[in-house]
A and B are shown apart, each in its own frame.
Chain A
Amino acid sequence: MTVPLDSSDMPGPMKHVRKALPHDSAEMHVMGTATYIDDMPEPVGTLHVVPGWAREAVRGRIVSVNLDDVRSAPGVVAVLTAKDVPGINDCSSSFGGDPVLAEDEILFYGQVVFAVVATSRDAARRAAIRAKIEVSPITPILTPEDAIDADTTVLPDYQFRRGSPETGMTAAEEVLEGSMRIGGQEHFYLEGQVAMAQPQESGGMMVYTSTQHPTEVQHTVAKVLGVPDAAVTAEVRRMGGGFGGKESQANQWAALASLAARFTGQACKVRLDRDDDMIMTGKRHDFRVDWKIGYDLDGRIRAVDMEFLARCGYSPDLSLGVNDRTLFHADSSYFYPDASIRSRRLRTDTCSNTAFRGFGGPQGMLAAERMIDAIAIKLEKDPLDIRKLNFYDGERNLTPYGMPVEEFEVMHDLISQLEESSDYWNRRDDVNDFNSANAVLKKGLALTPVKFGISFTLKHLNQAGALVHLYTDGSVHLNHGGTEMGQGLYQKVAQVVAEEFGVTLDKVRITATNTSKVPNTSPTAASSGTDLNAMAAKVAAAEIKGRLIEFLCEQHQCGTDAIRFSDNKVFVADESFPLSEIAKQAHWARIQLSHAGFYATPGITWDRESATGRPFYYFAYGGACAEVTIDTMTGEMTVDRVDILHDVGHSINPAIDLGQIEGGFAQGMGWLTTEELVWDEKGRLRTHAPSTYKIPTAADIPADFNVQLYKGSGNPQSTVYRSKAVGEPPVMLANAVFCAINDAIASLSPGQIPNLDAPATPEAIMKAVQDLRSRRPSS
Chain B
Amino acid sequence: MLHLILFSVFAVIAVAGALNLLVQRHPISSALSLIVVMGSLAVEYLLLGAEFVAAIQVIIYAGAIMVLFVFVIMLLNAGVEERTKGSKVALILGFPAMLVGGLLVAWVLLRAPNVGSVNVGAMYGPPKAIGWLLFHDFLLPFEVTSVLVLIAIMGAVVLASPVRSRFSRPQPEPERQALKAAAGTEPAHEETVTARRSS
> A and B bound?
no
Contact residues of A with B, CB < 8 Å? none
Interface, chain B (partner A; CB < 8 A)? none
